[in-house]
Amino acid sequence: MSGKFNFDPPSSASSDSGDENDALHMAADHSASDGECPAPNQGRDVQDHELEICTATRNPGSPQLNNADSSGSGEEAMPVDDEQTFEDALPATEGVSTPGHMSPTPHSKPATPLKQQGLLGQVRSPRTRRQRTSSTSLSGTNSTTCRSREPILRGKRQAIYTSGRPPWYDAQGQMVEPFVIGVCGGSASGKTTVAQKIIEELDVQWVTLLSLDSFYKILSPKQHEEAERNEYNFDHPDAFDFELVIKTLKRLKEGKKVEVPIYNFLTHRREAKTKTMYGANVIIFEGILAFYSPELVKLLDMKVFVETDSDERLVRRLTRDISRRGRDLDGVLKQYFKFVKPAFDYYIAPSMVHADIIVPRGGENEVAINLIAQNVMTQLTQRGFKLREKLAHVNFSEARPCSLHLLPSTPQVRGLHTFIRNKETPRDEFIFYSKRLIRLVIEHALTLLPFRDVCVDTPQGVPYTGKRIATERLCGVSILRAGETMEGALCDVLKDVRIGKILIQTNQETGEPELYYLRLPKDIKDYQLFVMDATVATGAAAMMAIKVLLDHDVPEDNISLCSLLMTEQGVHNIAYAFPKVKIVTTAIDPSVNDKFYIVPGIGNFGDRYFGTEPSEED
Amino acid sequence: MGTMSEVVGVVAPFDKRPSSPAASPSPSKTPKASPLAQPLPTEQPPSDRIRPNIEPQNKEGAVSAEDGEDSGHGSVESYGPHLRLITANRQVKELQTILRDKNTSRSDFKFYADRLIRLVIEEGLNQLPYGECTIVTPTGCQYQGLQFTKGNCGVSIVRSGEAMEHGLRLCCRSIRIGKILVESDADTHEARVVYAKFPDDISQRKVLLMYPIMSSGNTVVKSMRVLKEHEVEEHNVILLNLFSTPSAARTLTTAFPQMRILTSEVHAVAPNHFGQKYFGTD
């Protein structure tokens, strides 16, 4: 086959056979929709821990990897980037023909797989940043879909920060199930556009978009050859790893962190890197076979089918592939009739029966999208995400929980409180006395760590039986901003402690805490953690931080929550939701006021410490 | 009834001690115990004095701190009401372990010494006089707080006592600090005062006397005499100490019964390398 020909869309390094470029087609097609993925997910980029999964070793025999790796510009060559001209990208990649160019020398192909095998050990993932830009959906919504990596969606009415994550659990720290929308439809039917528009319409800040295209199966060497000849059917259900899809979606529904594979359409294997995703209040799952598996359908709370006339879909495909990808009419048509259309008729169209809503004309249909968005909002409201308010009014018994470790109220502790609570205290004194108090809290928290008995030799020649901390792995996690004031003290007492950060801000409109930013050590589940926040009123932010850590598989009893001041409610809320989390604080105040400030309290600790309080005092 | 080792551990100080105010009440409290088999004496009073609220999880630490010590650690109260330990939790024990370990590097030694010093200082400050006061918080509420009265000062005994000055400064930014230099005669081992400089009004002040390691207690005895010559009253002195031997503790409590002593550990072996290692002159 390989000599066969010329006009080869070069997006796949291997396909030099001109007549069956279906694989490419598919690759391009799906890359398109996949390209949407990063967008809603951008905000979570900050949470990417870049955990590497070594899928590379599981896939011997995909030759293109080598291409990418061996040629210096492999990185540039890999991205299936609509915007990029392939001519620019590809020449460096050996064995690839560019349109109008002739096919590669026959030997180049066999050579690569062999090389590949040998290299496998050291092959790092072809660190391709697949900047697949906003998809192919030529839906004219470029202004919104062509987002670079900023976590903001500009909707018509407002900017939606896809990174600020409102609570995804209830007052007991239990997960509130996210709402999952499945979007299904034929190739080029406008699924991504519809998904996009739904996200824009929804007044929800934290949305995850999961694409079926991430779950293409890793091809066997034989299948790989088929793919090279473009005889592999990427539209068939067998091409997808549904088991993994279901597992991933289930975990997302539990709010757990998942590693979503990044499928490389050139190598037909998963990249070593994965994309970290979190469950969200709303998860949108889209793909041509989104409704294929019955088990999968059960996971979807709302099923949307995008119905676009097949002529129109073909026209879109043709336009997209010919004008934007430099492919020829014959190739596109052949692929369409051999794989795309049959797959639609056999698998996709029949799955329409599962749909709750069928959206004709795809993304243009604003009425339908509006209806969907409204319905989702109603459902979300019913599920109730009014966490902080709820927390402020939870009843609690008088007895304090045993997970609470309150510092003894010594004269010094009370004296320090007197300084930092006094509104007349100037900032330098406020900082000085806060630091002293913080040091005491941290020292106290350290006493709760696991210790082991040791016997040491002394210079005096008499052995001494003592204790050492049983673990080296200690990590502080400060809740921005006030929690950062405690980092210094932690570093003062622990020499090589790691510091993670979580930014949780209160939404001024809803009063709810929202998660914006997260940086944690890689293997955080193995650490003893000190979650630090200066004050804990309702405990809403602290609960969110703890929940994030639990979602990272940190055992609950590895966590200590350190603060200077808490309320009775905060203590009880946290102890109730997370009974094994050790709570360390220096004082407990009776209540919060209607602005969620602790009374009598300290005021806004962060503002007073950093000197950002509003000029007019209340 | 304790094990044999406990018995020995407890008995030792009692035996050595010729007369102590605490000796008489102890036996009477536990009628069926013979004086020799005195159980680990009276957990309650000391913990009561040291920290009002000892939390359950600290108990383990507190108890284990007493294990296997020949030093009479468990009978701190036998030195009288004015000698106290900082809360003996596992964390403190770790710091002590690191400081005693001969394999500890100098930088670690200084780091952990400073931490232990800080804990002793913080606890020492708790003993200073204070008065009640009411302040207004930023939320407009009243808070019943307290304010420490002014008129304190620190006095460090050169050289190792100076290691504690920094810790004191970190807690009290502008506190006055006096110094005493006591050297022991190479031949007679008799301590003699070489240098002393105090704030003028030291007789009116509470004095935080700082000296980390006490083996015989002679240096501190000598320093106290100097302070007394400056009309400092015994009950105004709080001695901040890290490690003391039982004999030093006894010497001081006997010689200055009104002086308050705060330490982290009373143990037969004093880590005499402290000053050298801290200042790097070993």
Residues A507 and A471 in one domain: yes
Q: What is the pLDDT of residue B111?
A: 93
Question: Per the domain annotation, does A508 fall within a domain?
Answer: yes
Tell me, rounded to whole angstroms, the distance of Cα B91 from its chain centroid: 17
Q: Is A599 in contact with B273 (Cβ distance < 8 A)?
A: no
Domain shared by A564 and A485, yes or no: yes
Q: Which of B53, B54, B100 sits opposite A456 (nearest CB)?
A: B100
Q: Which of B67, B89, B271 sits opposite A447 (nearest CB)?
A: B89
Q: Is A6 contained in some domain?
A: no
Both A222 and A263 in one domain: the answer is yes
Verify that A363 and A402 share a domain, yes or no.
Answer: no
Tokens of B156: 């460090």
Looking at the structure, tell me whether residues A492 and A553 fall in a common domain.
yes
Residue A500 belongs to a domain: yes
pLDDT band with cut points at 50, 70 and 90 for residue A501: very high
Q: What is the pLDDT of residues A273-296, one digit of tens each?
A: 777 676 567 888 988 888 988 898
Q: Is some CB atom of chain B closer than 8 A to the CB atom of A469?
A: yes
Which pLDDT value is given to residue A26? 36
Strand-pairing partners, residue A240, are A216
pLDDT band at B148 (very low <50, low <70, confident <90, very high): very high
For residue A418, the chain B residue with the least C-alpha distance is B145
Burial A408-431 (b: 16+ CB within 10 A, else e): bebbbbbbbbbbbbbbebeeeebb
Write out chain A residues lying below 8 Å of B133, CB-based.
418
CB neighbours of residue A149 within 10 Å = 10
On whether residue B33 sits in a domain, the answer given is no
Is A452 part of the contact surface with chain B (CB cutoff 8 Å)? Answer: no
Task: Give the torsion through C-alpha atoms of A464, A465, A466, A469, to 10 deg.
Answer: 120
pLDDT of residue B251: 92
Higher-scoring residue by pLDDT: A97, B91:
B91
Residues 538-597 of A with CB under 8 A from B: 593, 597
Query: What is the number of structural domains in chain B?
Result: 1
Are B143 and A465 inside 8 Å of each other by CB? Answer: no
Position B271 in a domain: yes
Among A92-96, A468-472, A523-527, B223-227, the minimum mean pLDDT is found in: A92-96
- How many helices (H) and strands (E) would you count in chain A? 22, 23
Task: Inspect the interface and report whether the beta carbons of A418 and B138 lie closer than 8 Å.
Answer: no
CB atoms within 10 A of CB B193: 15
Euclidean distance between CA atoms A392 and A378, whole angstroms: 24
Single residue among A334, A352, A383 that ends a domain in this structure: A383
A349-407 pLDDT, tens per residue? 888 888 888 888 877 888 888 888 888 877 776 665 555 555 655 555 567 888 899 99
**Is B70 inside a domain boundary?**
no
- What's the mean pLDDT when you consider all of chain A? 71
**Together in a domain, A314 and A454:** no
pLDDT of residue A416: 94
pLDDT of residue A28 exceeding 70, the answer is no
* Whether residue A523 is found in the same domain as residue A420: yes
Q: Which residue of B has its CA nearest to A489?
A: B115
Q: Do A454 and B272 touch (CB under 8 A)?
A: no
Report phi then psi at B244, rounded to 5.
-130, 145
Residue A133 forms part of a structural domain: no
Q: What is the CATH number of the domain that holds A271?
A: 3.40.50.300
Our CA-based measurement puts residue B227 at a distance from the nearest CA of chain A, in whole angstroms, of 26
Say if B57 is an interface residue toward chain A (CB within 8 Å).
yes
pLDDT surpassing 70 at residue B193:
yes
N-to-C CA span, chain A: 79
Helix, strand, or coil here: A499?
strand
Q: Is B270 in Cβ contact with A460 (below 8 Å)?
A: yes
Please judge whether A408 and B94 are an interchain contact, meaning their C-beta atoms are less than 8 angstroms apart: no
Residue B9: pLDDT over 50: no
d(CA B215, nearest CA chain A) in Å: 12
In this prediction, residue A18 has a pLDDT band, given cuts at 50, 70 and 90, of very low
With tokens 């006493």, the residue in question is A447
| Yes or no, beta carbons of A409 and B91 under 8 Å apart | no
Which residues in chain A are contacts of B93 at CB distance < 8 A? 451, 466-467
The enclosing domain of B95 has a CATH number of 3.40.50.2020
For residue A62, give the nearest of A181, A196, A195, A220 by alpha carbon: A220
Judge whether residue B29 has pLDDT over 50: no
A412 has a chain B CB within 8 A of its CB = yes
Cα–Cα distance between B282 and B262 in angstroms, integer?
27
Beta-carbon contacts below 8 Å between A and B: 157
Q: Which residue among A363, A383, A403 closes a domain? A: A383
Highest mean pLDDT among A323-327, A613-617, B111-115 belongs to: B111-115
- Chain A interface test: which of B107, B137, B169, B282 (most A C-beta within 10 Å): B137
Structural domain boundaries, residue A552: 391-610
State which of A353, A383, A413 marks the end of a domain.
Answer: A383
The stretch B71-81 carries a mean pLDDT of 67
> Is there a domain that residue A184 lies in?
yes
A500 closest CA partner among A524, A517, A476, A482: A476
Instruction: Examine the pLDDT at A534 and tell me if it is beyond 80.
Output: yes
Task: For chain A, say whether B111 makes contact (Cβ under 8 Å).
Answer: yes
Cα radius of gyration rounded to whole Å, chain A:
28
B201 within a domain of the structure (yes/no): yes
The total number of residues shown for chain B amounts to: 282
Q: Does residue A157 carry a pLDDT above 60? A: no
Domain-located, residue A324: yes
**Nearest CB neighbour to A601, from listed B61, B118, B141:** B141
- Read off the pLDDT of residues A82-127 as tens digits, 9 standing for 90 and up: 333 333 333 333 333 333 344 343 443 333 333 333 333 343 444 4
Binning pLDDT at 50, 70 and 90, where does residue A581 land? very high
pLDDT in tens, B224-270: 999 999 999 999 999 999 999 999 999 999 999 999 999 999 999 99
Residues A376 and A467 in one domain: no
pLDDT in tens, B96-114: 999 999 899 999 999 999 9
A340 or B56, higher pLDDT: A340
Cβ of residue B101 closer than 8 Å to a chain A Cβ: yes
- Taking phi first (over 0 means left), then psi (-120 to 50 degrees means alpha), and beta for anything else, what does residue B143 get? beta
Q: Are residues A440 and A376 in the same domain?
A: no
CB A268 within 8 A of CB A227: yes
- Quick check: B215 contacting A, CB < 8 Å? no
Q: Is the pLDDT of residue A482 over 80?
A: yes
- Residue A82 domain-assigned (yes or no): no
Residue B173 lies in domain: 90-279
Same domain, A378 and A450: no
Is residue B84, in this structure, part of any structural domain at all?
no
Contact criterion met (CB < 8 Å) for A456 and B97: yes
Q: Enumerate the residues of chain A whose CB falls inside 8 A of the CB of residue B135.
A: 418, 421-424
Measure the CA–CA gap between A150 and A163, rounded to whole angstroms.
9
Contacts of B145 in chain A (CB under 8 A): 414-415, 417-418, 421-422
> Is A457's CB within 8 Å of B102's CB?
yes
Q: How far apart are CA A571 and CA A404, in angstroms?
A: 7
Using a CB–CB cutoff of 8 Å, tell me whether B136 touches chain A.
Answer: yes
| Residue A374 pLDDT | 84
Helix axes A427-446, A411-421, angle to 10 degrees: 140
Q: Answer yes or no: do A456 and B171 touch at CB < 8 A.
A: no
Contact B140 A618 (CB under 8 A): yes
Bridge partners (DSSP) of residue A583 are A404, A561
Distance from CA of B274 to the nearest CA of A (A): 10
Do B137 and A603 lie within an 8 Å CB cutoff?
A: yes
Those of residues 490-529 in A touching chain B at CB distance below 8 A are 493, 495
* Cα distances (Å, whole numbers) of residue A93 to A68, A263, B55: 7, 19, 68
B4 belongs to a structural domain: no
Q: Does B105 touch chain A (CB under 8 A)?
A: no
Query: Would residue B68 count as lying in a domain?
Result: no
Computed from CA positions of residues B72, B74, B75, B81, in that sequence, does the dihedral angle turn out positive or negative? positive
Going from the C-alpha of A168 to that of each of A70, A164, A174, the distances in angstroms are: 45, 12, 8
Judge whether A381 is closer than 8 Å to chain B, CB to CB.
no
Interface membership of A311 toward B (CB under 8 Å): no
Count of structural domains, chain A: 2
What is the interface pTM, i.e. ipTM, of the complex?
Answer: 0.73
Cβ of residue A405 closer than 8 Å to a chain B Cβ: yes
pLDDT digits (tens, 9 = 90+) for B115-140: 999 999 999 999 999 999 999 998 88
Residues of B in contact with A422 (CB under 8 A): 135-137, 143, 145
Kindly report the nearest CA distance between residue A439 and chain B, in angstroms.
9
Query: What pLDDT digit, counting tens, does each position of A129-144 carry?
Result: 333 333 333 333 333 3
Is A551 in the same domain as A418?
A: yes
Asked whether residue A12 is domain-assigned, the answer is no
Cα gap A179→B135, rounded to integer Å: 49
A193-232 pLDDT, tens digit each: 888 888 777 766 567 788 888 888 888 888 877 776 667 7
**Hey, is the C-beta of B146 within 8 angstroms of any chain A C-beta?**
yes
- CA nearest B70 in A: which residue? A464
A491, A494, A500, A503: CA torsion to nearest 10: -50
A33 alpha carbon, distance to own chain's centre: 17
CATH code of the domain covering residue A584:
3.40.50.2020
The alpha carbon dihedral of A196, A198, A203, A206 has a sign of negative
Of all residues in chain A, the percent with pLDDT exceeding 70 is: 64
Is B26 contained in some domain? no
Q: Does A606 contact B at CB distance below 8 Å? A: no
Are A339 and A218 found together in one domain? yes
User: Nearest CA to CA, how far is A420 from chain B (Å)?
Assistant: 9
Across chain B, mean pLDDT equals: 77
